[in-house]
Structure 1
Amino acid sequence: MFRRTFWFTAGAAAGVWATQKVNRKIKALTPESLAAQAADKAVEAGHRLKDFALDVRAGMVQREAELGDALGLDAAPEDARALPPQRQGAIGHSAGPPHHTNPPSHNGNSYNRNEDH
């Protein structure tokens, strides 16, 4: 008699456990649940992408600072006259159009890319 009661109870418990497991899986596969899971994963991916972009930006700033130090680009020139004439116009010290230091070529074009603009 105890044997039958034990197996009956074990079977009933297994049935309840299996039913709950199946019901949870069915609820997880409803369209609303799938949409919520997809939205959660999209938000998580967005946060990861934002963190990655911030890491890349910080690395860029650090590398630009290293390159600026190595090339001496952090210090502004003391006197604009120390620059060659073609560079003076690039920093805004000459008000006129750029000066052509090379004579025009044989076909009349000066090959100055800024001339047409």
Structure 2
Amino acid sequence: MFRRTFWFTTGVAAGVWATTKVNRKLKQLTPESLAATAANKALETGQRLKDRAVGFALDVRDNMAVREAELGEALGIHENPELPAPRQYTAIENHHSTNRSTPKYIETSFTSQAKYSYNRNEDH
């Protein structure tokens, strides 16, 4: 009697285990589940690529600084020369003019020529 009960219980447990396993696999193979899995894999791959790109950029920056130091030593330049001041643009508008079709000028501090401002809303 105990033998039959043992084998009956073992069979029921095996059936429940097999049914559960098959149902899980069927849920994994639904279109929604496959799409979610593909999206997750794409996000993971994108994150890995981003991490590698950032690491590569940092390596390039470090190697660039080392190479600049080597070139500075070879050329006898020990300090970084100061960069020139950034260019500044000054817009001069004629507020007393009644004619809207005349273009306004922009003068620059680095050139004597005046350039026209191209404002596409100016003609309207």
Task: State the TM-score bracket (shorter-chain normalisation).
Answer: 0.5 to 0.7
The runs of 4+ residues in structure 1 deviating greater than 2 Å are: 73-77
Q: CA deviation at 1:26?
A: 0.5
Q: CA deviation at 1:76?
A: 2.7
Identity of counterpart residues, as a percentage? 58
What is the rounded CA distance, in whole Å, between the counterparts of 1:2 and 1:37 in structure 2? 46
Deviation string, structure 1 residues 85-104 (Cα, Å, up to 9, x no partner): xxxxxxxxxx9xxxxxxxxx
Identify, as 1 or 2, the structure richer in strand. 2
What residue number does 2:59 align with? 59
Structure 1: any 5+ residue segments left out of the alignment? 78-94, 96-117
2:47 aligned with 1:47: yes
TM-score (ref. length: structure 2): 0.59
Larger RCO of the pair (alpha carbons < 8 Å, separation 6+)? 2
Identify, as 1 or 2, the structure richer in helix. 1
Q: CA deviation at 1:8?
A: 0.5
Structure 2: any 5+ residue segments left out of the alignment? 83-110, 112-124
TM-score (ref. length: structure 1): 0.63
RMSD: 1.7
- Number of residue-to-residue matches in the alignment: 78
Alignment of 1:1-117 (within 5 A): 1-72=1-72, 75-76=80-81
